[in-house]
Amino acid sequence: MPSNKEKPACYVFLYGSLRAGAGNPHSSIICSRGERLDEGRMPGRLFRVSQQYAALYEPSSKDTVIGDVVRFPEHLAGDILEGLDRYEGIVAGLSTPPPFKREVVRVQRPEGSWLDCWAWLCNHSVAGCSQIRHGDALSRV
């Protein structure tokens, strides 16, 4: 007998150039394959590293990183995650560590619930990088 439960899904947290409204053409392609649920907050810090953004996940931090929570159907999850890994420079055979690593992080949604999401986090030192104290890559403040 079929279940009425929601089908399994894959959740991603996008905090930089792939957020809706960032003007990146890759963002519209990604979001067309999934559903943007809402804005979320991940405990940690956001940095400007050259022309891109990088976040550190710090579960006990009072600082937060603001981003989009996007849900993908499970049957698309593998392709989506592989594509985002390539976009973020996580490719097999690199002689140096990739700039980002994919990890599961806890993200707080606007109503207060928490959700486990995949995120691409900084995989190098942020010494000398500018921290974006408000945590929002889209904010011009």
Q: Establish if 2 belongs to a structural domain.
A: no
Q: Establish if 4 belongs to a structural domain.
A: no
Give buried/exposed letters for 118-137 (b at 16+ CB in 10 A, else e). bbbbbbeebeebeebeebbb
The helix/strand/coil state of 81 is: helix
Q: Establish if 90 belongs to a structural domain.
A: yes
Per the prediction, the chain carries an average pLDDT of 88
The helix/strand/coil state of 92 is: coil
Q: Establish if 13 belongs to a structural domain.
A: yes
Q: Establish if 55 belongs to a structural domain.
A: yes
Predicted pLDDT at 4: 44
pLDDT in tens, 25-39: 887 777 788 899 999
Domains contained in the chain, number: 1
pLDDT in tens, 75-102: 999 999 999 998 898 887 776 888 999 9
Structural domain that includes position 27: 9-132
* Percent of the residues in the chain that have a pLDDT greater than 70, as a whole number: 92
Q: What is the CATH number of the domain that holds 23?
A: 3.10.490.10
Q: Establish if 138 belongs to a structural domain.
A: no
pLDDT in tens, 41-55: 999 999 998 888 999
Parallel, antiparallel, or unpaired for β 35-49 and 64-73? antiparallel
